[in-house]
């Protein structure tokens, strides 16, 4: 059966050209996302081989729990691209023909559109969570974060089952032609289907808007917080500007199309002409661009969720084990710090061994080898041949660096702010339950700058 909402679809060269443009844009997104996933796979295999052969690099980042959400969101982008590419068939035959192909496109659109919205929303939540509750990503909190992530994945799977199986088995003509492609039709044989109008909003566009609002709230909170700290660390201004691009990009991708779609639905309900086809094509091109736009953000913002490439270290760096230095800024509060840990003149230079890296103002260990000691933190010495980690004269965790958590043998609680809210626990703390005496500003965001030794 050939079913047309737009009477000028058949034989309309302009609309057919627009659908081809949508398919071409989707193809660019498909190639971009597939390339990103291939790069991630190659880097992960290389890292796994290094770890398996005992040649892991100290600078290898731990893969974060949110990486699962990121990868699944990218898989949804891949599916969205395929669904839009499928419309090329309608452009060549000048009409949408209902059948298995049409139903497959409609189901794929709903699965991937909703999946991308939900995973994008969850990614924003998991991004802001460490800022609000830093301990959530450390120690037992890291395990909790993994459970939360898999809970989110389970929610999406159950959501898919409900929005597809229930309407498809109880609603007549739930999937079909909407004119230029297949999705949830709003008309059948010239008659309006109001129920499908509301189902389209409830099962897809409502989730688009919820995801967009959630992303603005989550990333907006981070931006405001970092901007307030920018007087201590100007680098945070750049990071804040970069971070705001995520919700802005998602809003630009989904909002215009959702508005045009709702206008089309309303026009069908009240019996008025729908918006010009050009608006449908333009907004769908924006939506089809989401794949390559997200890949571009992944490349330029540096938020790679533990999938970044291994650094190309120079020969000098290989010999010295030094990857840079942290220099205290004038005015940094060093009251109460051990004399050996900081120069009271505020210009002391510390050369952390490979295994320490700067991440938004925090020193975080990522090494698990003999070069993983950091002379900027007194009391910690290199692991012995047996892999033991000594801290303040006592025996510490052999996996202190491997777990990216600097362990303490004194039983002290994680500091609420120092070194990234408990990433480091000091062996010099006064006793169990006390805070870290080093969290007085010297290692807080803005207290030091990073120099990469000319690289």
**Domain locations in the chain?**
13-301, 319-455
367-391 average pLDDT score: 33
Predicted structure pTM score: 0.65
Query: Quick one: 13-301 is in which CATH superfamily?
Result: Rhodopsin 7-helix transmembrane proteins (1.20.1070.10)
pLDDT surpassing 90 at residue 211? yes
Confidence of residue 165 (pLDDT cuts 50, 70, 90): confident
94-105 average pLDDT score: 90
Confidence of residue 208 (pLDDT cuts 50, 70, 90): very high
Higher per-residue confidence, 233 vs 324: 233
136-164 average pLDDT score: 82
User: Other C-beta atoms within 10 Å of 314: how many?
Assistant: 12
pLDDT surpassing 70 at residue 70? yes
* Rounded-to-integer distance, Cα 353 and Cα 321, Å: 5
Least confident piece of the model among 32-41, 71-80, 139-148, 157-166: 139-148
What order of strands is seen across the sheet that includes strand 325-328?
349-350, 325-328, 448-451
How high is the pLDDT of residue 61?
Answer: 64
Question: How would you class 122 by CB atoms within 10 Å of its CB: exposed for 0-12, middle for 13-18, buried for 19 or more?
Answer: buried
pLDDT surpassing 50 at residue 282? yes
Least confident piece of the model among 21-35, 132-146, 214-228, 236-250: 132-146
* Rounded-to-integer distance, Cα 74 and Cα 34, Å: 9
Of the chain, the percentage scoring pLDDT greater than 70 comes to: 59
Which of 128-137, 150-159, 416-425 is the most confident on average?
A: 150-159
* Rounded-to-integer distance, Cα 433 and Cα 212, Å: 41
Instruction: Give tens-digit pLDDT for 166-206.
Output: 888 888 888 988 888 899 887 777 677 778 878 888 888 99
């Amino acid at each position: 059966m050939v079913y047309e909402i737009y009477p000028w679809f058949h034989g309309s060269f302009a609309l057919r050209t627009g659908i081809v443009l949508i398919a071409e844009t989707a193809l660019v997104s498909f190639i971009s996302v597939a390339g990103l996933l291939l790069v991630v796979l190659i880097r992960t295999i290389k890292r796994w081989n290094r770890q398996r052969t005992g040649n892991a690099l100290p600078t290898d980042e731990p893969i974060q729990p949110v990486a699962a959400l990121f990868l699944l969101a990218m898989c949804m982008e891949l599916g969205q691209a395929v669904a839009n590419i499928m419309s090329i068939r309608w452009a060549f035959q000048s009409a949408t023909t209902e059948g298995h192909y049409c139903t497959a496109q409609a189901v794929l659109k709903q699965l991937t559109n909703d999946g991308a919205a939900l995973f994008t929303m969850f990614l924003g939540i998991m991004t802001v969570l460490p800022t609000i509750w830093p301990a959530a990503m450390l120690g037992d909190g890291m395990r909790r974060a993994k459970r939360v992530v898999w809970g989110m994945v389970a929610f999406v799977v159950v959501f898919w089952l409900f929005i597809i199986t229930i309407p498809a088995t109880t609603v007549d003509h739930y999937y079909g032609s909407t004119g230029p492609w297949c999705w949830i039709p709003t008309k059948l044989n010239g008659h309006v289907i109001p129920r499908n109008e509301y189902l389209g909003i409830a099962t897809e566009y409502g989730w688009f808007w919820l995801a967009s609002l959630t992303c603005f709230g989550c990333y907006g909170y981070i931006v405001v917080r970092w901007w307030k700290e920018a007087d201590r660390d100007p680098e945070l201004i750049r990071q804040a500007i970069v971070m705001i691009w995520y919700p802005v990009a998602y809003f630009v991708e989904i909002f215009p199309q959702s508005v045009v779609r709702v206008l089309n639905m309303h026009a069908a309900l009240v019996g008025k002409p729908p918006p010009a086809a050009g608006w449908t094509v333009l907004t769908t091109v924006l939506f089809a661009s989401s794949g390559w736009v997200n890949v571009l953000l992944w490349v330029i913002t540096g938020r790679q969720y533990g999938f970044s490439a291994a650094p190309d270290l120079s020969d000098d760096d290989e010999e010295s084990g030094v990857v840079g230095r942290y220099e205290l800024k004038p005015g940094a509060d060093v009251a109460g710090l051990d004399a050996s840990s900081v120069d009271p003149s505020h210009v002391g230079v510390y050369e952390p061994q490979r295994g320490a890296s700067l991440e938004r103002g925090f020193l975080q260990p990522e090494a698990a080898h003999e070069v993983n000691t950091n002379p900027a933190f007194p009391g910690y010495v290199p692991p012995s041949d047996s892999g033991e980690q000594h801290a303040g004269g006592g025996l510490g965790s052999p996996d202190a660096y491997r777990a990216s958590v600097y362990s303490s043998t004194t039983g002290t609680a994680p500091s609420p702010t120092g070194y990234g809210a408990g990433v480091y626990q000091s062996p010099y703390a006064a006793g169990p339950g006390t805070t870290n005496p080093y969290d007085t500003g010297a290692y807080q965001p803005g207290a030091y700058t990073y120099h990469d030794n000319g690289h």
